[in-house]
């Protein structure tokens, strides 16, 4: 089993940057595809970015490539989401999640979830 804890959210002005972290417990961390999702009020939880087990391959939602970068450090059991050029529409609760699948974008393919961290972008 994997437990996930996100951190790094906060309030930032449009055009600013934030770096989210997700710390995992469990020695099988490197066997999971990891993803970031977000959920804005009244909206469905949506895929943002994903990274494979070794960190050599990534996947991004159409709304974020070039602005967001996902990475992982298996030695530290941690993944990151560097968010640049933030926009008010990026405001949401951001969740990290772990999957045994291959490059999944569907949230139902993720077995483990963190509690989420709030990101608020002011205009």
> Is 6 buried (19+), middle (13-18) or exposed (0-12) by CB count in 10 A?
buried
pLDDT of residue 27: 74
- β-sheet bridge partners, residue 11: 120
Mean of the per-residue pLDDT values of the chain: 95
Instruction: Tell me the average pLDDT across 23-42.
Output: 92
Start-to-end Cα distance in the chain: 40
For 48-89, write each residue's pLDDT tens digit.
Answer: 999 999 999 999 999 887 899 999 999 999 999 999 999 999
Where are the extended beta strands (E) located within the chain? 3-7, 10-13, 18-25, 33-39, 46-51, 58-60, 68-73, 78-83, 92-99, 112-113, 117-122
Label residue 1 by pLDDT band (50, 70, 90): confident
Q: Identify which of 80, 85, 5, 91 has the alpha carbon closest to the alpha carbon of residue 46.
A: 91
For 3-16, write each residue's pLDDT tens digit.
Answer: 999 999 999 999 99
For 32-41, write each residue's pLDDT tens digit.
Answer: 999 999 999 9
């Amino acid at each position: 089993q994997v437990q996930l804890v996100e951190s790094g959210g906060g309030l930032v002005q449009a055009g600013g940057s934030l770096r989210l972290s997700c710390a995992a417990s469990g020695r099988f961390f490197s066997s999971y595809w990891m993803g970031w999702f977000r959920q804005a009020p009244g909206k469905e939880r949506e895929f943002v970015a994903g990274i494979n087990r070794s960190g050599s391959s990534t996947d991004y939602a159409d709304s974020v490539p070039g602005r967001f970068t996902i990475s992982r450090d298996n030695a530290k059991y941690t993944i990151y989401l560097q968010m640049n050029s933030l926009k008010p529409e990026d405001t949401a609760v951001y969740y990290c999640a772990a999957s045994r699948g291959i490059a999944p974008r569907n949230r139902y393919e993720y077995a483990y979830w963190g509690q989420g961290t709030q990101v608020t972008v002011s205009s």
